[in-house]
């Protein structure tokens, strides 16, 4: 089993879709939201995802293809 | 002796012991070092600081380190009155904080000297980072100084000067084929897997404290007073927030009067999530995919973006975004008026300052400090095509005078000033 801590940022057109619920239905993954802010202008959630490493990769690929931006929970850790 | 006593989550306030940890286990918020300011106030004074070394370590009591510093003498860089540039922009009291003259030619030496010291204290033997160049250079040099191994990860399309500036110190330079986001994700994953001191991941709470020294120095160099206005380039937003924190701490310790400094920030238009949010009057920024020559500021999803916007609102500061052409103009303007050759971030700051003045966000009578964070020799590609060719002559007076006559009327300096 593996565990990934990530931040999902949703574009406005995806805010009404139950993406996090769906990732748990489509893939053998357990999601646990730790912090989120969903408004008309911005929508993000930090969450922990548990599952087999390959399953996590498949799930992340699926949400990315849906148009969700996936970042580490730290946001951009790359620095000048 | 350090007065740091815990790490605290900036979101939920939970506290953790001082350890190589950067994210709150509960809410995933970022951790920050907290200090015993009461005890610190009993020890520090203007006099005790003045007796310290001419480096960031004159403020050792304000930093979270116990051990012998890994020291290349970063910091205590010049604060230069900029009469030429100030006059051109209509500012009576403009100063430039010239951090180009640090050991690896950028302000990143300030944060890395603290991070490397802390990493060695924690017992790490490898120093690492994810970087767009300047940080990689600083990590490589400080690792060499400390006898630590270094792994630095950068996007593979970086400027040549920045790649060389890491390799020369014997670091393992890892050039990643992919976008900034790809490098970012890879390093976050590596940070979980390898027992390395990733200065901007697991050591980040300590590392970022090094930037506070810019605030301390500016106040000390102005004769123990805070500037009226700071103009800072924004990447992750960490530098901006720590300058503010540094000034606030000096007030808390009774070393300067209450801070009324306005904090303004500048970004390149090709990567301006913070400035765009400021323009839209929101604290929620939208992540972007960077597209700018100002690679050291090309952070599309800034870790401290929200906190930056809060300080901007609280301090009545402003934001400015500049085009890549204006970045080049800013570099040239700074060089031609004040003799300082800055990298692209400096061009962003100077052109951003010009925007802020034109928009009425800077009062001509304010004491303004613009932060020039890195030297231009690292990003020569940005300006090489914008500059006139050398005057090529044969070794005769006739050839020289002929060439000089041909040059007259050609590309004037960006200031428009006549040559003498």
Note the pLDDT tens digit of each residue in A37-49.
988 777 999 999 9
- Report residue B227 CA to chain centroid gap: 17
Closest CA–CA distance from residue B293 to any residue of chain A (Å): 12
Rounded-to-integer distance, Cα B284 and Cα A21, Å: 24
Q: Are B42 and B64 in contact (CB under 8 A)?
A: no
pLDDT of residue B420: 38
Q: What is the sign, positive or negative, of the torsion defined by CA atoms of B292, B296, B297, B303? A: positive
- Report residue B179 CA to chain centroid gap: 22
- A75 or B390: whose pLDDT is higher? B390
pLDDT of residue B416: 45
Closest CA–CA distance from residue B27 to any residue of chain A (Å): 5
Give Cβ neighbours of residue B333 (< 8 Å, ≥ 6 apart). Answer: B85, B88, B350, B351, B354, B414, B415
Judged by CB atoms closer than 8 Å, whether chains meet at B23 and A9 is answered as: no
Rounded-to-integer distance, Cα B120 and Cα B150, Å: 13
Closest CA–CA distance from residue B298 to any residue of chain A (Å): 8
Of the candidates B135, B188, B285, the beta carbon closest to that of A79 is on: B135
Rounded-to-integer distance, Cα B205 and Cα B7, Å: 8
B345 vs A contacts (CB less than 8 Å) = 80
B236 vs A contacts (CB less than 8 Å) = 75-76, 79
pLDDT of residue A40: 77
Of the candidates B191, B200, B301, the beta carbon closest to that of A79 is on: B200
Rounded-to-integer distance, Cα B181 and Cα B178, Å: 8
B346 vs A contacts (CB less than 8 Å) = none
The interface predicted TM-score (ipTM) is 0.91
Rounded-to-integer distance, Cα B328 and Cα A41, Å: 33
Convert the pLDDT of each residue in A54-71 to its tens digit. 999 999 999 999 999 999
What's the token pair of residue B357?
């003045």
Of the pLDDT bands very low, low, confident and very high (cuts 50, 70, 90), residue A80 is: confident
Return the ∠ at Cα B109 (arms to B381 and B72), rounded to 5°.
120
Rounded-to-integer distance, Cα B249 and Cα B150, Å: 33
A interface toward B at CB cutoff 8 Å?
5, 9, 34-35, 37, 39, 41-42, 46, 69-80
Closest CA–CA distance from residue A78 to any residue of chain B (Å): 5
pLDDT of residue B419: 41
- Chain B residue nearest residue A79, CA to CA: B131
Convert the pLDDT of each residue in B35-78 to its tens digit. 999 999 999 999 999 999 999 999 999 999 998 999 999 999 99
Percent of chain B past pLDDT 70, that is, above it, reads: 97
A79 vs B contacts (CB less than 8 Å) = 108, 129-132, 134-135, 200, 235-236, 238, 299
B287 vs A contacts (CB less than 8 Å) = 9, 69, 71
pTM here?
0.94
Q: Are A6 and B184 in contact (CB under 8 A)?
A: no
Report residues of chain B scoring pLDDT below 50.
416-420
Interface test with A, best of B188, B204, B205 (most A CBs within 10 A): B188
pLDDT of residue B412: 54
pLDDT of residue B38: 97
Which residues does residue B206 pair with via DSSP β-bridges, in sequence order? Answer: none
**Burial of residue A58 (number of CB atoms within 10 Å: 0-12, 13-18, 19+):** middle
Judged by CB atoms closer than 8 Å, whether chains meet at B134 and A73 is answered as: no
pLDDT of residue B5: 96
B100 vs A contacts (CB less than 8 Å) = none
Rounded-to-integer distance, Cα B282 and Cα B264, Å: 16
Judged by CB atoms closer than 8 Å, whether chains meet at B303 and A73 is answered as: no
Provide the b/e sequence for B14-36 (b: ≥16 CB within 10 Å): eebebebebbbeebbbbbbbbbe
Query: Which region holds residue B49: left if phi is over 0, alpha if psi is between -120 and 50, else beta?
Result: alpha
Strand extents, DSSP E, B51-194: 79-81, 93-98, 126-130, 149-155, 172-176
Q: Are B9 and B26 in contact (CB under 8 A)?
A: yes
Judged by CB atoms closer than 8 Å, whether chains meet at A72 and B200 is answered as: no
């Amino acid at each position: 089993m593996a565990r990934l801590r990530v931040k999902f940022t949703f574009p406005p057109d995806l805010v009404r879709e139950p993406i996090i619920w769906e990732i748990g239905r489509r893939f053998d993954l357990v999601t646990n939201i730790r912090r989120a802010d969903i408004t008309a202008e911005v929508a993000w959630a930090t969450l922990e995802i548990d599952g087999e490493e390959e399953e996590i990769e498949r799930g992340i690929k699926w949400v990315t293809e849906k148009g969700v931006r996936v970042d580490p929970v730290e946001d951009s850790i790359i620095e000048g | 002796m350090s007065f740091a006593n815990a790490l605290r989550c900036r979101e939920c306030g939970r506290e953790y012991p001082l350890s190589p940890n950067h994210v709150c286990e509960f809410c995933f918020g970022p951790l920050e070092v907290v200090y015993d300011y009461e005890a610190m106030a009993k020890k520090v004074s203007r006099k005790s600081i003045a007796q310290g070394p001419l480096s960031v370590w004159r403020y050792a009591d304000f930093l979270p380190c116990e051990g012998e510093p890994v020291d290349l003498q970063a910091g205590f860089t010049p604060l230069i009155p900029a009469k030429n540039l100030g006059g051109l922009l209509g500012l009576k009291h403009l100063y430039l904080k010239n951090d180009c003259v640090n050991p690896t030619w950028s302000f990143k030496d300030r944060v890395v000297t603290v991070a490397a010291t802390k990493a060695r204290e924690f017992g790490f033997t490898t120093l690492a980072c994810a970087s767009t160049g300047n940080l990689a250079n600083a990590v490589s040099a400080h690792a060499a100084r400390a006898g630590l191994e270094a792994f630095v990860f950068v996007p593979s399309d970086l400027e040549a000067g920045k790649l060389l500036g890491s390799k020369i110190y014997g670091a393992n330079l890892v050039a990643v084929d992919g976008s900034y986001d790809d490098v970012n994700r890879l390093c976050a994953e590596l940070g979980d897997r390898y027992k390395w001191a990733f200065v901007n991941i697991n050591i980040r709470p300590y590392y970022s404290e090094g930037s506070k020294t810019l605030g301390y120095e500016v106040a000390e160099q102005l004769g123990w007073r805070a500037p009226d206005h700071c103009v800072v380039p924004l990447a992750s937003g960490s530098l901006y927030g720590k300058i503010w924190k540094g000034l606030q701490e000096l007030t808390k310790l009774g070393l300067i009067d209450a801070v009324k400094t306005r904090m303004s920030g500048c970004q390149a238009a090709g990567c301006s999530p913070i400035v765009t949010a400021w323009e839209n009057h929101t604290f929620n920024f939208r992540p972007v995919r960077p597209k700018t020559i100002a690679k050291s500021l090309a952070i599309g999803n800034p870790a401290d973006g929200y906190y930056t916007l809060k300080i901007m609102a609280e301090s009545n500061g402003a934001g400015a975004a500049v085009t890549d052409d204006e970045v080049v103009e800013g570099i040239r303007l700074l060089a031609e008026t004040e003799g300082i050759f800055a990298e692209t971030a400096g061009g962003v700051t100077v052109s951003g300052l010009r925007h802020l003045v034109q928009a009425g966000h800077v009062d001509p009578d304010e004491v303004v400090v613009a932060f020039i964070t890195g030297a231009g020799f690292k990003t020569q590609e940005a300006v090489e095509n914008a500059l006139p060719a050398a005057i090529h002559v044969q070794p005769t007076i006739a050839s020289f005078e002929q060439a000089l006559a041909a040059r007259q009327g050609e590309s004037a300096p960006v200031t428009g000033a006549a040559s003498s």
